[in-house]
Structure 1
Amino acid sequence: MSYSPRAAIAAGYFVQGCAFLSLTTRLPKFEDHWGISQLGLTLLMLMIVLLAGCGSLLSEKVAPRRGSAILLRTGLFGITVALLVSGNAPNIPVLVVGLAVYGVVLGMVDATTNMQAVSLEHQLRRTVLPSFHGAWTAGGITGTLLTLALPHASIAALSTGLAVLPLVVGFARFLPGSGTAPNPEAADGIPWRPILLVGAACVIFYTVDTASTTWGSVYFDHTLAAPEGLVALATLPYLVASLVARIAGDRMTDRLGAPQLLRSGAVIAIVGLVVVVVAPTWPIGVLGFLVLGAGIAVVAPLSYSAAATLARGNGTLDPDVARARTDAVIARFNQFNYVGALVGSVLTGAIGTGSLRIGYAVPVVLLVALLPLAKVFDRDRLAAVG
């Protein structure tokens, strides 16, 4: 296996993270520039999440026939269009159109990057999903740093500059797919019940993750009274800790096993989120987000890896059937991402309209559920069930 496809897949994750975090860390600027209320921002995030789910479902139908690489390129080019339209919008209706396009292609890129990553992990026969998700985190850090470094840059200038990234990466060399219509047998025998259990862990992760990345800057601005130029510091320490955990996650998973790693991470994440909720000042909030990111970061990549293992089963399937099953499961599994994002971005914002402390208290309860769910991630158990 040459290095080129692996680098291309990582670049796809990087672009996705950079575009998304550059958007969410600029939400206070959207409030000021467009005069949009917190409820209005909540509705925009709801639209993006729902349309992302549609984009993921589209990937489930198209990727087995056209190949995930082609669909990933289409999604990346779509991000370029969305950034240019939304960033240079002359009025709110055009802004909504641009963000709607972004929502659809967000789902396409989410689904197809994970399709590509689980395919490579299967070929390499070792854990690589955490480091790929680390590339997403690295992109998020880059987007956050751009917001911090350019506090006075216009929305149009920053969006136009960022639009170059997905355009360039869209021409990279990804793993080729079969590009053939899926075998009718591909949908037979998929163990959806254990996939739902793994999906529950994924929902919990994205609830906490999206609440952190979407509302962290608003929380620092409105509740903790952070200096205007430092509101993005809510997101940055969370992402840095997540990046470190994910880079180490490949080896830690192979060494400790996914269940033990998830249990330990859940306890750390609970402590971190409690600190966020009770933080009296913004520096304490920074510490809370740092601990939270370190604890919860590996849940999402291990969830996708577990879903792919369940789809492939015990290795007796025909390779084409296994590939079609895996692509179908990953695209469907990606919906758990958006259920969590819906809860994290919309419910946290709605419940926290009066005080985001209350909004952040809700995910603490969800994190406790990761402790009993961890046993589902045992690799031998997953293969046997599949």
Structure 2
Amino acid sequence: MISNLKHRFFLSLFFFMSGLSFSTWASRIPTIKTIFGFNEAELGSMLLALPIGSLLGLPISGWLVSKYNSRVPLTVGYGLNAFALALIGFAHNTFTLVAAVVIFAFTTRIFNISVNTQAITLQKRFDKKIMGSFHGYWSMGGIGGILISTLLIGLNVSIQVHFVVVAIVMLIITLYSYQFLLKGDRSETGNKLNLKKPDPYIAYLGLVVFLCAICEGGMFDWSGIYFQEIIKVKVFTYGYLVFMTFMAASRFLSDLIVARFGMPRSYLMSAAFIVSGISLAIIFPYFWTAMIGFSLVGFGTAAIIPMSYALAGASKKYSAGMAISIIATYSITGMLLGPPLIGYLAHAFNLRVSFVIFAICGILLVPITQMFFKHQRLSDQTT
């Protein structure tokens, strides 16, 4: 019998490799921009392929998790994601690039829903909170991907070789780790989506995740461009690296922070970090102020997703897999709007002005999270 600690280790490994896969792609966006000669608006339009692919994967991922044990779509989706990553490196025109990115995003959504379903199921077997640490490993994988990208860019290694090597490592880990994933986590109830009666509990959480996704998606896709074009740094991965580093630190600390201050205050702290950090980077567009600003944004955004997923898993109306799938719809919508919106605003005005969107999202987090917890208290009183 496989121990819970071993389950946790290999599930953490999948989170880690998921972050590495995504950051491998995201850290090379400036390279892709240069290869294809995109301007900001054209890059923003190309980046629409990512959330569109994810949206296509949402109904399928929810159906797969409700029909099978989550380790099946997790493994298949992750293996296909490695293949899609390699395809991006070999795209030779805009059409093939967009097609490859859509497949990459589609498969990312399949295994993301599955891996979070596994995490919520495993959380129930532990007395202490562990959700934040899983997402912390995702961020650690992101840091690893950025460091590898920074090294390979410095060595002038082609994007084709880079992506193929990462894809091969992903496939090897997937094939070996499958046996250590949780079995029998399919829920028999709460798998049907009721569109006629939206659940306020899930809707509030969805709005919170939506705002966070705009910040995360925008920072993932545009932090390298910001350092390349505004800060004028040759090694453009610095901004993305510091953002991901502090995101990882925050996620590993988030379980302790939530236990100490509670979720309502933790959400408020996250909002404060986002607003102050992005304001610093915009008002003072210099290397160290931007580094500090991006680190604060990373620290602020990090805990929002794991906290919201944990709350979604406690839904009284939906199973954990279906609740996460619904929440992810809001997240992908944020991803859909965020990066392209930054691109269009940057093209119309400038990149510094476009980053104000992140501060607005941070401010809006305050009233929406307060409304959620008010609804939660009233709901608990009536049951």
TM over 0.5: yes
User: Could you say what secondary structure the match of 1:14 adopts?
Assistant: helix
Q: CA deviation at 1:286?
A: 1.0
8 Å Cα contact 1:311/1:329 also seen in 2: no
Out of 15, 19, 22, the position equivalent to 1:20 is: 22
5 Å-filtered alignment, 1:181-330, equals 182-183=188-189, 192-226=199-233, 228=234, 230-311=235-316, 325-330=319-324
Q: Would the alpha carbon gap of residues 280 and 252 (structure 1) be closer, same or farther in structure 2, given more than 3 Å must change? A: closer
Q: Would the alpha carbon gap of residues 207 and 184 (structure 1) be closer, same or farther in structure 2, given more than 3 Å must change? A: closer
8 Å Cα contact 2:190/2:322 also seen in 1: no
Out of 165, 168, 188, the position equivalent to 1:164 is: 168
Out of 362, 370, 377, the position equivalent to 1:367 is: 362
Q: Distance in 2 between the 1:42 and 1:138 partners?
A: 26
Which residue is 1:317 aligned to? none
Cα displacement string for residues 348-376 of structure 1 (whole angstroms, at most 9, x for unaligned residues):
11112241111100121121122233343
Cα displacement string for residues 129-163 of structure 1 (whole angstroms, at most 9, x for unaligned residues):
21111111011111111121121210101001110
Q: Distance in 2 between the 1:97 and 1:191 partners?
A: 33
Q: Distance in 2 between the 1:213 and 1:139 partners?
A: 14
State the TM-score, normalized to the length of structure 2.
0.90
Which residue is 2:74 aligned to? 72
What code does the residue aligned with 1:86 have?
I
8 Å Cα contact 1:348/1:360 also seen in 2: yes
Q: CA deviation at 1:380?
A: 7.4
Cα displacement string for residues 81-103 of structure 1 (whole angstroms, at most 9, x for unaligned residues):
10222212344433333222102
Which residue is 1:337 aligned to? 331
User: Could you say what secondary structure the match of 2:275 adopts?
Assistant: helix
1:358 aligns with 2:343: no
Give unpaired runs (5+ residues) of structure 1: 313-321
8 Å Cα contact 1:131/1:246 also seen in 2: yes
Paired residues, number: 372
Q: Would the alpha carbon gap of residues 208 and 179 (structure 1) be closer, same or farther in structure 2, given more than 3 Å must change? A: closer
5 Å-filtered alignment, 1:146-157, equals 146-151=148-153, 152-157=156-161
- Tell me the C-alpha RMSD between the 2 structures: 2.4
Q: Distance in 2 between the 1:186 and 1:342 partners?
A: 25
Q: Would the alpha carbon gap of residues 183 and 256 (structure 1) be closer, same or farther in structure 2, given more than 3 Å must change? A: closer
8 Å Cα contact 2:244/2:298 also seen in 1: yes
Which residue is 1:315 aligned to? none
8 Å Cα contact 1:190/1:311 also seen in 2: no
What code does the residue aligned with 2:12 have?
A
Q: Distance in 2 between the 1:251 and 1:22 partners?
A: 29
State the TM-score, normalized to the length of structure 1.
0.89
Q: Distance in 2 between the 1:327 and 1:123 partners?
A: 17
More displaced stretch, 366-375 vs 327-336: 366-375
Q: Would the alpha carbon gap of residues 379 and 145 (structure 1) be closer, same or farther in structure 2, given more than 3 Å must change? A: farther
Identity in percent: 21
Q: CA deviation at 1:6?
A: 1.2
